């Protein structure tokens, strides 16, 4: 025992430790120290550890470079070309909006590849005049286009037939409201507990609050304030935020695509599509200008949802999920097909990114974000970003249908593909459009722009899905998954979270299942929670701050190396696994939160090495019953070398620490 480190007047040979008149916390610290010093296992051969080198990972970082702009013109740089009625922007090559959704050309060949359905335009320089097409808008007639993929097209229409036949009354009502109301008002209920506060502060209103009992004359006559009241109109509470959302509508029209692709709505393709009866009067009587591809409602809902998510990232996934729900409601209404909705999602994402990356929102995005955060904190009675984060997820599932993360993810995935045939090349690597990363600026602020691009790449949908394999990459982006961090470490990731900056810098959660062969290195004072079924194999190095392992496989398959900071083993599973070696240097802390039956204990497949000066803290999960006389295993590995200088157990003042050749256990003495 290293008695020389203890005051001689305090300790005399044979004196029981519990007789010293120490305060409880001091006694726990001292007890852990004494038992550690004694070895606990009766041997000293493993009392000093020689730590192995930290994991080296791959030694490279992953990238998601922007494609050559001459080969793939970025939408964010060319959004202003998304116009109809201008001969300069009438073709696939010259119109960014038409080009963004061109994956549809593998399924459908329009009668002319010009923005010309009901459109004329005078010649402009070298660009010839546009003459209105002869497309009648009626499927199958002589002026119609050509189906190139019969099976895919049949699946697209049959999906609507099946969905509308099985539609419930509740789904019909939701579809009606999302059709008739302003889209900004509709999707704002994705704010959950913040919905009422948001609508009040923004000045959002609607005159469409119910569905008529029968089919009457219906006009698109919502007289409410869809997004709210702008700064110019006097809104000092949330006016900048309203301006920000309005700006995502710049160059965002779906009409050029509709007039280019000339693809009929599903109820014109099949009489078996059952439009919600109360919406039948809204069916257009001018098919030549009523193209189904792409869905304008969906595009508008997606871009406005992304704008709101940018301003209130505490509800990022929920807002995106709500916009995808609105897209599905267009199918349930009988007004659009899955491919129409997918195309709308693509253009909505691209339009929102363009407005923030290069458009009107560049100048106001920071102040609009700050205003939105201040307004929502005030309304919720929250004193900080973190408090607002908690409040934003405080409602029960009955009051917040996006409150369950698993179902949210499952439904979002389904609504991005609708189960259509994945008949294309399934091996294509994901590419990330220029500017796509700006939509994650407030959700993942501690990552660099390049890192956010890699997040988008590693969470993208697989290739081969119909419509979604556009050249620039918008179709495969999955912002619901991307908001939960990396999907794979295909290179080493260096992460710095400066907790003093607050917000997600101070604390965030990555819930994706992270694969890859790369290494994660965490620096900075912030806290990162990992809760996926992680298989990354390059190792984990903690230099500062906190990493909380909230699932059994949170730490991946490689070595774990604590150079500093605190690693929290905090899973409800029987154990938290370390795939390789576990090493802990002086000055770092391992905190193990134990539950029933030993849940939360740290188990390494390789050697455990603990350097003198390291700390172990044991907590017990809520509801866990522990009493004097109980022994709990905390840490184990293929071998165990070294001793903790400080061991504490929350709630107990007397403990004894026991080391075997492979495990560390603690007995509760009192």
Residue 44 predicted with pLDDT over 80: no
Mean local confidence (pLDDT), 129-148: 96
Mean local confidence (pLDDT), 9-35: 35
Residue 151 predicted with pLDDT over 50: yes
- pLDDT bracket for residue 45 (50, 70, 90): low
Q: What local confidence, expressed as pLDDT, does residue 40 receive?
A: 44
- pLDDT bracket for residue 220 (50, 70, 90): confident
- Cα separation, 542 vs 518, whole angstroms: 15
14 Cβ contact list (under 8 Å, min separation 6): none
Residue 84 predicted with pLDDT over 90: yes
The beta strands (E) that lie in 404-559 are given as 493-496, 507-510, 520-523, 527-530, 540-542, 546-549
| H/E run at residue 267 | helix 266-269
Cβ neighbours around 303 below 10 Å, total: 31
Q: Which of 8-12, 401-405, 486-490, 579-583 has the lowest mean pLDDT?
A: 8-12
Please compute, for residue 316, the number of CA atoms within 13 A of its CA located in the half-sphere on the CB side: 22
Cα separation values, 484 from 3, 22, 39, 630, 667, Å: 50, 46, 43, 39, 39
Q: What local confidence, expressed as pLDDT, does residue 484 receive?
A: 98
355 Cβ contact list (under 8 Å, min separation 6): 79, 247, 248, 249, 250, 251, 252, 303, 307, 361
Mean local confidence (pLDDT), 113-139: 97
Q: What local confidence, expressed as pLDDT, does residue 236 receive?
A: 97
10 Å CB burial of residue 65 (0-12, 13-18, 19+) is exposed
The DSSP string of 280-336 is GGGS-S-GGG---SS-HHHHHHHHHHHHHHHH-GGGHHHHHHHHHHHHHHHHHTTS-
**Among 486, 482, 523, 481, CA closest to 505:** 523
Higher pLDDT, 219 or 246: 246
Regarding the domain with residue range 79-459, which homologous superfamily does it belong to in the CATH classification?
Phosphatidic acid phosphatase type 2/haloperoxidase (1.20.144.10)
- pLDDT bracket for residue 13 (50, 70, 90): very low
Residue 24 predicted with pLDDT over 70: no
Residue 643 predicted with pLDDT over 80: yes
Mean local confidence (pLDDT), 115-119: 97
Residue 32 predicted with pLDDT over 80: no
Mean local confidence (pLDDT), 15-20: 34
Mean local confidence (pLDDT), 4-27: 33
Beta strand 540-542 pairing with 520-523: parallel
Angle at 527 between CA 522 and CA 531, to 5 degrees: 85
424 Cβ contact list (under 8 Å, min separation 6): 106, 463, 464, 465, 466, 469
| H/E run at residue 455 | helix 449-458
The chain-wide mean pLDDT, for the chain, equals 92
**Structural contact between residues 475 and 294, judged by C-beta atoms closer than 8 angstroms:** no
Mean local confidence (pLDDT), 12-26: 34
Residue 33 predicted with pLDDT over 50: no
Q: What local confidence, expressed as pLDDT, does residue 562 receive?
A: 98
**Among 254, 295, 251, 256, CA closest to 118:** 256
Per-residue pLDDT tens digits for 492-513: 999 999 999 999 999 999 999 9
**Structural contact between residues 655 and 631, judged by C-beta atoms closer than 8 angstroms:** no
- pLDDT bracket for residue 4 (50, 70, 90): very low
- Cα separation, 178 vs 77, whole angstroms: 31
Per-residue pLDDT tens digits for 578-613: 999 999 999 999 999 999 888 999 999 999 999 999
The residues spanned by each domain of the chain are: 79-459, 489-668
Residue 355 predicted with pLDDT over 90: yes
Q: Reduce the secondary structure of 218-255 to three states and give it as a string.
A: CCCCCCCCCCCCCCCCCCCCCHHHHHHHHHCCCCCCCH
Point out which residues pair with 657 in neighbouring strands.
666
**How far, in whole angstroms, is CA 249 from its chain's centroid?**
23
Residue 10 predicted with pLDDT over 80: no
The DSSP string of 335-352 is S--HHHHHHHHHHHHHHH
């Amino acid at each position: 025992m290293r008695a020389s480190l203890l005051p001689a007047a305090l300790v005399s040979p044979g004196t029981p430790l519990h007789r010293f008149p120490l305060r409880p916390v001091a006694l726990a610290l001292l007890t852990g120290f004494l038992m550690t010093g004694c070895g606990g296992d009766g041997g000293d051969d493993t009392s000093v550890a020689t730590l192995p080198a930290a994991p080296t990972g791959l030694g490279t970082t992953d990238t998601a470079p922007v494609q050559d702009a001459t080969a793939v013109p970025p939408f964010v740089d060319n959004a202003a070309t998304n116009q109809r009625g201008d001969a300069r922007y009438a073709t696939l090559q010259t119109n960014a909006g038409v080009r963004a959704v061109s994956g549809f050309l593998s399924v459908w060949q329009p009668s002319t590849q010009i923005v010309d359905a009901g459109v004329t335009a005078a010649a402009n320089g070298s660009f010839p005049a546009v003459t209105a097409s002869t497309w009648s808008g009626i499927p199958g007639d002589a002026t119609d286009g050509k189906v190139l993929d019969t099976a895919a097209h049949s699946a697209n229409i049959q999906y609507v037939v099946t969905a509308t036949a099985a539609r419930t009354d509740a789904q019909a009502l939701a579809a009606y409201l999302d059709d008739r109301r302003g889209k900004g008002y509709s999707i704002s209920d994705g704010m959950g507990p913040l919905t009422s506060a948001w609508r009040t502060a923004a000045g959002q209103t609607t005159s469409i609050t119910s569905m008529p009992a029968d089919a009457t004359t219906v006009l698109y006559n919502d007289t409410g304030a869809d997004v709210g009241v702008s700064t110019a109109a006097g809104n000092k509470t949330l006016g900048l935020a309203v301006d920000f959302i309005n700006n995502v509508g710049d160059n965002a029209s779906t009409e050029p695509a509709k007039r280019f692709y000339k693809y009929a709505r599903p109820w014109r393709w099949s009489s078996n599509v059952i439009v919600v009866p109360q919406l039948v009067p809204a069916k257009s009587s001018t098919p030549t200008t009523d193209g189904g591809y792409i869905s304008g409602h969906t595009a508008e809902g997606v871009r406005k949802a992304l704008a709101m998510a940018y301003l209130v990232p505490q509800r990022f996934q929920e807002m995106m999920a709500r916009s995808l729900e609105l897209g599905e409601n267009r199918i349930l209404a009988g007004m659009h097909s899955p491919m129409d909705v997918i195309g709308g999602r693509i253009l909505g994402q691209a339009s929102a990114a363009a407005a923030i990356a290069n458009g009107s929102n560049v100048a106001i995005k920071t102040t609009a974000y700050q205003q939105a955060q201040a307004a929502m904190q005030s309304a919720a009675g929250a004193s900080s970003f973190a408090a607002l984060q908690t409040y934003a997820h405080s409602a029960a599932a009955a009051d917040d249908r996006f409150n369950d993360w698993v179902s949210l993810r499952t439904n979002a995935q389904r609504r991005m593909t609708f189960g259509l045939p994945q008949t294309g090349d399934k091996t294509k690597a994901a590419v990330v459009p220029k500017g796509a990363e700006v939509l994650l600026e407030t959700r993942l602020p501690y990552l660099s722009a390049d890192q956010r691009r890699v997040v988008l790449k590693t969470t993208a949908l697989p290739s081969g899905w119909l419509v979604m394999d556009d050249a620039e990459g918008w179709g495969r982006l999955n912002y619901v998954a991307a908001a939960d961090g990396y999907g794979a470490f295909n290179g080493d990731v260096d992460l710095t979270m400066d907790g003093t900056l607050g917000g997600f810098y101070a604390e965030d959660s990555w819930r994706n299942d992270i694969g890859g062969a790369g290494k994660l290195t965490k620096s900075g004072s912030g806290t990162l929670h990992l809760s996926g079924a992680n298989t990354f194999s390059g190792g984990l190095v903690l230099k500062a701050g906190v990493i909380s392992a909230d699932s059994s496989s949170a730490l991946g398959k490689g070595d774990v190396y604590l150079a500093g900071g605190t690693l929290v083993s905090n899973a409800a599973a029987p154990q938290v696994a370390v795939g390789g070696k576990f090493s802990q240097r002086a000055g770092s802390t391992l905190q193990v939160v134990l539950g029933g039956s030993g849940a939360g204990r740290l188990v390494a497949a390789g050697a455990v090495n603990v350097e003198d000066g390291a700390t172990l803290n044991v907590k017990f999960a809520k509801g866990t019953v522990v009493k004097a006389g109980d022994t709990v295993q905390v840490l184990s590995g293929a071998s165990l070398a070294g001793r903790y200088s400080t061991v504490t157990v929350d709630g107990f003042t007397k403990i004894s620490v026991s080391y075997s050749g492979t495990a560390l256990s603690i007995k509760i003495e009192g």
